[in-house]
Structure 1
Amino acid sequence: MSFSTALSGLNASTRDLAVTGNNIANAGTTGFKMARTQFADVYASSSLGLSSTQAGSGVRVAGIQQQFSQGNIDFTNNALDLAVNGEGFFTLNANGETVYSRAGAFGPDREGYVTNPQGHRLQVYPPLASGGFDTGRLTDLQLQVGDAPPQRTSRIEADINLPAASGTAPAVAFDPANADSYAHTTSLTVYDSLGSAHTASLYFAPTATPGTWDVHTVIDGAVTGAATQASFDADGNLLTPAGGSFVLPPVPQTNGATDLALTVDLSGATQFGDRFNVAALTQDGYATGRLTGIEVTPEGIAQARFTNGQARALGQVAMATFANPQGMQELGDTVWAETFSSGPALRGVADSGSFGAIQAGALETSNVDLTAELVHMISAQRAFQANAQMITTTDQITQTALNLR
């Protein structure tokens, strides 16, 4: 009995050393989760149920349990390196099989799909045309994006202050080339339906009526429509045009674009003091945009950024948690599979509920504590040596008994 008891100790210590060695070997593996060996004592069963005077029969390995504690976050400056700061797993498509991982070293393959080094594709919730994401289905994240289409300018907003001391009305007809025909001007760039840029200028000329101005609009050097009158009350607030805006006649384009139809909004205009000031001058169009990069927000929204300042959502990273993560099946390559013991995957998005936030441009390192593992290695070695000594001692006792005459 002593031989078998000591042998079970040797086997258990060997398994423990193997687990410790695996932890140490993976101290630098991205997303790796350390494991620990769980032991259970062994007793021979008694048909009478009487075991108070019974010696133990050794030890067995009850299980090897992975520890899903948080690893450190190391920054890499690679936009597609992702780390989860908190609970949750990335969802991956491994040739049709759904697997899960904490290792976020992703990059595009030759078809533009975002994959890990093993070729497993990162799963996302696809974007909806109306905004938001379809959290009812998963799809592979793909980075194939062309230029961002332009948007035609339809509205100009000018928040300006015209000086109360407007001076006298110009003595000559308005001419953008004649500075004597107006008092103040400001310009901005607008875009047609093909994304071509045009210069739109607003010219302000005082009239003979105090508090009233003629507003002239010039596009690409050509006067567009008749002058519009802007008038202010005694407190400097805008009275006309009604509603604060006016519509310009369509401007035909020679490049095949649709006519440029603009509404000028002066609702933020005032007449205070004696200084002309432009507080804001904006328009709602933009040119064609070229891709400048990919970014992932803390909520896991992957979006493409373009030179025209626009962003296009490509999907939202699908996250998963489990009621019993230790019950997941280890598949190697720092990925796990769902099992009956783990419970079904609970899906969601990052930085919501129990899910941690995503840190882009960073990786989660292994959670192995090398110092603790080295200390544990010494303890396991001592246990192995003690069990080996137990076998030696038992052998000596047996030899002594055999030598009795």
Structure 2
Amino acid sequence: MRALSTAATGMMAMELNVQVISNNLANMTTTGYKRQRAEFQDLLYDHVSRVGTQTSAQGNMLPVGIDLGSGVKTVGTVRLMTQGNLTQTGNQLDVAIRGDGFFKVQLPDGTFAYTRDGSFNMDSQGRIVTPQGNVLQPAITIPPNSTGLTINAQGQVSVIPQGSTTPQILGQLQMTRFINPAGLLPMGDNLYQETPASGTPIDGLPGTDGAGDLQQGMLEQSNVDSVSEITNLITAQRAYEMNSKVISAADQMMQSVSNLMR
């Protein structure tokens, strides 16, 4: 019976939907996390009777047809790059992006990755790095015993060297933008890699050419809305249950047919 396989596709789709929702909820407090949304499309149709088919020599046509669908399929898990709330931390190495763009970091193999997580630290050489030790690009080294680390909205990094009262500019933070940021490949550790779908990286200065500006002493929170996610979870659960009811109903109908044949 066709209904069995059709309902099974619905159950599998809702199972994947719940997995996406559970990952969103698990990352509610992950810095810079961007929520995902599962998207679905209907599968191929069996056109038992095609609409518009001529039914007589006088040119009469069927106003409606008989089209039997075969279920649903998952076409993607779209990542929604909306802005998360900014939370003040007071840590001078915490930097939040307000607007579009990513921080660029260098991985141990020499390739580059991108992140919205601005919870930076210093390594043993004084370089600004991510919690995993990946060096922020372009690399900026903070002199030992310096004070008054300042990162302004345009990304200029300055300190007051030991024995001086005059701020010294150490370097300039950059922002990297993509034509399609939703096409980036998530790697874990709050990192993304470019793909052909994301387009090539566009490096620039914070606050210029559409890039967001920087907020020192703040972090961007996850853009997950717990109320929406719980609502989506209940909807997915009920859809799963209804598809399982279809399988039960189809099984009972087949059982009735089987009993008639005895």
Instruction: Kindly indicate whether residue 229 of structure 2 is the aligned counterpart of residue 403 of structure 1.
Output: no
Q: Which runs of 5+ in 1 are unaligned?
A: 125-139, 147-289
What is the CA distance between 1:49 and its match in structure 2?
10
Task: Show CA shifts across 1:289-321 (max 9, x none).
Answer: x62231111001111124532122221112111
**Aligned with residue 56 of structure 1, among 69, 80, 88:** 69
How big is each residue's C-alpha offset from its partner over 1:265-296, in whole Å with a ceiling of 9 and x where there is no partner? xxxxxxxxxxxxxxxxxxxxxxxxx6223111
1:303 is aligned to 158
Match of 1:30 in 2: 31
1:144-180 Cα offsets, whole Å, 9 max, x none, are x26xxxxxxxxxxxxxxxxxxxxxxxxxxxxxxxxxx
Q: 2:113 aligns with which of 89, 92, 99?
A: 99
Distance, in Å, in 2 between the alignment partners of 1:295 and 1:347 is: 22
Stretches of 4+ aligned residues off by more than 6 angstroms = none
Amino acid at match of 1:115: V
Tell me how far apart the structure 1 counterparts of residues 73 and 141 of structure 2 sit (CA, whole Å).
Answer: 48
Taking the aligned partners of 1:387 and 1:45, their CA distance within structure 2 comes to 20
Q: Say if 2:40 and 2:74, in contact at 8 Å, map to a contact too.
A: yes
- In structure 2, C-alpha distance between the alignment counterparts of 1:78 and 1:309, rounded to whole Å: 22
Root-mean-square deviation over aligned CA pairs: 1.7
Higher fraction of helix = 2
Task: Tell me how far apart the structure 1 counterparts of residues 45 and 258 of structure 2 sit (CA, whole Å).
Answer: 27
Pair 1:114-2:128 in alignment: yes
Instruction: State how far apart, in whole Å, the 2-side matches of 1:110 and 1:50 are.
Output: 72
Is 2:88–2:218's contact at 8 Å kept on the other side of the alignment?
yes
Contact 2:8/2:243 (<8 A) preserved: yes
* Structure with bigger gyration radius: 1
In structure 1, the residue matched to 2:209 is 353
**How many residues are aligned here?**
245
Give how far 1:141 is off: 2.1
1:122 positional shift: 0.7
Shifted more, 320-329 versus 304-313: the winner is 304-313
Q: What is the CA distance between 1:50 and its match in structure 2? A: 4.2
The residue number in structure 1 matching 2:247 is 391
Alignment of 1:1-400 (within 5 A): 1-44=2-45, 50=50, 52-95=65-108, 96-124=110-138, 140-143=139-142, 145=143, 291-306=146-161, 308-400=164-256
Please, what TM-score do these two structures have when normalized by structure 2?
Answer: 0.89
In structure 2, runs of 5+ residues without a counterpart are 52-64
Q: Secondary structure of the equivalent of 2:254?
A: helix
State the alpha-carbon separation in 2 of the partners of residues 38 and 298 from structure 1: 37
Provide the rounded CA distance (Å) in 1 between the counterparts of 2:174 and 2:146.
24
TM-score with structure 1 setting the length: 0.58
Distance 1:388 1:119 in 2: 48
- Indicate the SS of the match to 1:403: helix
Return the offset for 1:111. Answer: 2.0
